[in-house]
Chain A
Amino acid sequence: MTAPLLRPKRKNPVLRTRLPTLPPAIRSRVALGLTAAAARGSFELQVCRDCATVQYPPREACCACLSDRLDWRVQNGAGELISETLLRHSQELFFRERVPWRLGMVRLDCGPTVIAYLHGDCPAAPARMRIRACLDRAGQAVLVALPEKETPNMADDRQLREMTCDPKFRKVLVTDGKTAAGQAVVEAVAAAGADLIWVGHAEPWKKLPGFDRLKAIPQVALLPLDVTNSRSVKEIAGEIGGRVDILINTADHHRNFGIASRHGVETARAEMETNYLALLRLAQEFAPAMRARGADGQSSAVAWVNLLSIFALSNFPPHGTYSASKAAALSLAQCLRAEMRASGVRVVNVFPGPIDDEWNQQLLPPKLAPAALAAAIVKALQDGIEDVYPGDVAQEWLARWRDNPKALERELAAGAG
């Protein structure tokens, strides 16, 4: 059983902060298929379309029949641990700073043998395992062998915590607590054991509901953060930026207009201010300190979460300008992800379908409950997922988009949401 993680000791502020290092990040292009699936929380291996042989490591042609028709298919990960080692010496800085590492060799039921990180609760070989694909600090997929059944405090495993971004004992900034989603996120990270939750509270004179509930949460501290105001972002970053471990940008400006249904650009501009430029402001002011703290002990800076929208993938004309602003934010989030890479701080993009809030009042169900969205964000942090598509609508849009983006564009243009 994993020993439960204890609250880390307070940092001695005069000691040097260790600089971040990364595990090896280089992969062949074909191996990035594993990463692409792991980014969504899925474990996929190549399967030969012609002879059904499952392949690993990733390759260009089937090792059985030489077919090049290899499709990435979801695997259940069941297998048997056949050997293990406790690695105490490594050639790479990242591992040298963290040895020992427990590694296992697992024969998957579907065929191949994989080398994987071995969770501390896994029994000795031979033993049944389940393999999961996880993103490591370099942002690349690695395989993790877990015990067949859940064990107590599993997420607290030392090696696993080096891959995940669990909010437990971490300090979290939720940039906007005004929205239903923002408030649900605050409650979810509090329940997940966050140490301290700063909640942005712009325009505090607007007495929006829910703040009394937030104030009652012991970890919560309200901040006058207004993401549309560069000076406010700069001031708040100066005040708390060096301590934020997880930044969750919930700021969202959502109006329901296309092009012809609204005169002028004022609304679109407000959407860009909050959905796009605010991300840029936050990134410029908060990212530098977070980058420097990518290896700051047990509770280092680990994640940056952007609340985007499934409309970022393809424009939803009834919410056309909103979709465009989210697409802009997605593009910028990719830039942020690249710039954060060297620090190991993960940029998590969340693509919900319509959230059950006032701005989606006229959309038919299913709609995503704010609490479900928040739960998906926390789970993504705990599981090491980079792209989150919470809820049925997001999953369906994603499937349609991956299948044929042009078809989705036509369907949306025809009014099929």
Chain B
Amino acid sequence: MAVAVPVTVPYARYSIRGAHWFLARVLAELLQRSGLTKDKIEGLCVSSFTLAPDTAVGLTQHLGFTLRWLDHIPMGGASGVVALRRAARAVQCGDADIVACIAGDTNHTDSFRLNTATFSQFARDAVYPYGSGGPNASFAFLTAHYMRSYGAEAEDFGKLCVAQRANALKFPYALMKKALTLAEYLSARPIADPLRLFDCVMPCAGAEGFLVLRRERAEELDLAYARVLATIERHNAFPDDPVQYRGGWVLDCDELYRQAGIPPGDIDFVEAYDDYPVITMMQLEDLGFCRKGEGPDFVRRHSFTVDGSFPLNTSGGQLSVGQAGAAGGFLGLVEAIRQVTGQALGGAVADARIGMASGFGMINYDRGLCSGAAILARS
């Protein structure tokens, strides 16, 4: 299977456009860059938080697509990986020739509050009434617990944020344009202890997308593509853990590398889901780069910049680019396609042959429920 045509609709802090506009722009860009006409897109996979009252169905009429395969994936930060899995199966089974996977959201001044307030039944009943801190509060709990359990320090999370900002300064679409020092990180205002300002993603508007098709088809169309070596997903893993200190990746990590036929050491770069740095640290552990509890030490041993040791979130990640709603779940995967197909817009990882993108999403109540990961390789 192949993934091709990584597309980003430039991010904006706020937009007066609707989600439909962003999703239309990403589709237009996919067609323009691939040279395909609308009728050649047989399948569409959509993720968006702000498309309501529409779903993917409404989008087909809104944008004039006639499709033989359609999916709508409301999995937030896991949407990119899961969309890839769904689309790849469809193409593999002949349900569609080419599937466009798109994610995008608008952001009005009150969108984030509205989305948080009504995010899920459990969140509305049992989280939002407690201070209405949104994901900041949820990740503050996970971070505080993780720090206490595994000895992580603020400087460790700061190191990840600072490295990603360095990567972002080279990436044209990043909303954060200023360099960040560890001192600035540590002295930033507290948001929800132990989280500080630069631990938290900035909600924004934007869209991401890519095409899924067979390798032969990509070659016919003369598209630079990445091979899909492996994908996993898991939902509501470890429900009996009192607090989340590990993600569903733990259950599927071995399977991921078995599918890919490579050990973790062969991965040249990682695009981890990073709305808060604690979850990045958990992914480093749960995806086999170090053992549980060794995350802090692993962070201390690497630089994470594009040109350093263990390149991580090479476009700057959501923490420096911005979180465009469901597109946040696509950002890492789209960047991974760019890196392994030699299309990096910012810093390029030297000789990037194999990359990993992972996703994490949906704090339904006290923890993220969806996890996924994909390994892509240069064609």
**A-to-B contact residues, CB < 8 Å:** 23-24, 26-28, 31, 56-58, 63, 82-92, 94-95, 99, 101, 103, 105, 107, 113-117, 125, 136, 138, 140, 142
Report whether A26 and B124 are in contact in the complex, using a CB–CB cutoff of 8 Å: yes
Chain B residue contacts of A90, Cβ below 8 A: 131-133
Asked whether any CB of chain A lies closer than 8 Å to the CB of B150, the reply is: no
Chain A residue contacts of B226, Cβ below 8 A: none
CB distance from B322 to the nearest CB of A (A): 18
Question: What sequence of 0s and 1s flags, for each residue 179-201 of chain B, a beta carbon within 8 Å of any chain A beta carbon?
Answer: 00000000001111111000000
Contact of B193 among A26, A27, A86, A94 (CB under 8 A): A86
Chain B residue contacts of A114, Cβ below 8 A: 126
CB distance from A163 to the nearest CB of B (A): 11
CB distance from B139 to the nearest CB of A (A): 9
Report whether A91 and B133 are in contact in the complex, using a CB–CB cutoff of 8 Å: yes
Query: Could you tell me the distance between the alpha carbons of A83 and B244 in the complex, rounded to whole angstroms?
Result: 11
Asked whether any CB of chain A lies closer than 8 Å to the CB of B352, the reply is: no
Asked whether any CB of chain A lies closer than 8 Å to the CB of B129, the reply is: yes
Asked whether any CB of chain A lies closer than 8 Å to the CB of B136, the reply is: yes
Chain A residue contacts of B195, Cβ below 8 A: 85
Known A28-B121, A113-B243; contact A86-B129, beta-carbon cutoff 8 A: no
CB distance from B50 to the nearest CB of A (A): 16
Contact of B125 among A23, A57, A87 (CB under 8 A): A57
Chain A residue contacts of B270, Cβ below 8 A: none
Chain B residue contacts of A27, Cβ below 8 A: 124-125, 129
Report whether A115 and B366 are in contact in the complex, using a CB–CB cutoff of 8 Å: yes
Asked whether any CB of chain A lies closer than 8 Å to the CB of B211, the reply is: no
Report whether B131 and A101 are in contact in the complex, using a CB–CB cutoff of 8 Å: yes
Report whether B132 and A116 are in contact in the complex, using a CB–CB cutoff of 8 Å: no
Number of A-B contacts (CB under 8 A): 117
Contact of A24 among B121, B128, B365, B366 (CB under 8 A): B128
Chain A residue contacts of B142, Cβ below 8 A: 83
A79 to B, closest residue via Cβ = B242
Contact of A91 among B112, B125, B145, B194 (CB under 8 A): B112
Chain A residue contacts of B136, Cβ below 8 A: 87, 89
Chain A residue contacts of B112, Cβ below 8 A: 91
Contact of A125 among B118, B140, B148 (CB under 8 A): B148
Report whether B131 and A87 are in contact in the complex, using a CB–CB cutoff of 8 Å: yes
CB distance from B364 to the nearest CB of A (A): 9
Report whether B243 and A115 are in contact in the complex, using a CB–CB cutoff of 8 Å: no
CB distance from A95 to the nearest CB of B (A): 5
10 A-B pairs, CB-CB below 8 angstroms? Answer: A28-B121, A31-B125, A57-B121, A85-B137, A85-B140, A91-B134, A92-B132, A105-B243, A105-B366, A115-B127
Question: What sequence of 0s and 1s flags, for each residue 138-154 of chain B, a beta carbon within 8 Å of any chain A beta carbon?
Answer: 00111011001000000
Chain A residue contacts of B129, Cβ below 8 A: 23-24, 27, 136, 138, 140, 142
Known A24-B132, A28-B125, A113-B366; contact A88-B193, beta-carbon cutoff 8 A: yes
Chain B residue contacts of A86, Cβ below 8 A: 190, 192-193
Report whether A83 and B133 are in contact in the complex, using a CB–CB cutoff of 8 Å: no
Asked whether any CB of chain A lies closer than 8 Å to the CB of B116, the reply is: yes
Report whether B117 and A125 are in contact in the complex, using a CB–CB cutoff of 8 Å: no
A144 to B, closest residue via Cβ = B130
Query: Could you tell me the distance between the alpha carbons of A294 and B122 in the complex, rounded to whole angstroms?
Result: 29
CB distance from B187 to the nearest CB of A (A): 15
Instruction: Tell me which of B124, B134, B136, B137 has the highest count of chain A C-beta atoms within 10 A of its own C-beta.
Output: B137
Asked whether any CB of chain A lies closer than 8 Å to the CB of B300, the reply is: no
CB distance from A160 to the nearest CB of B (A): 14
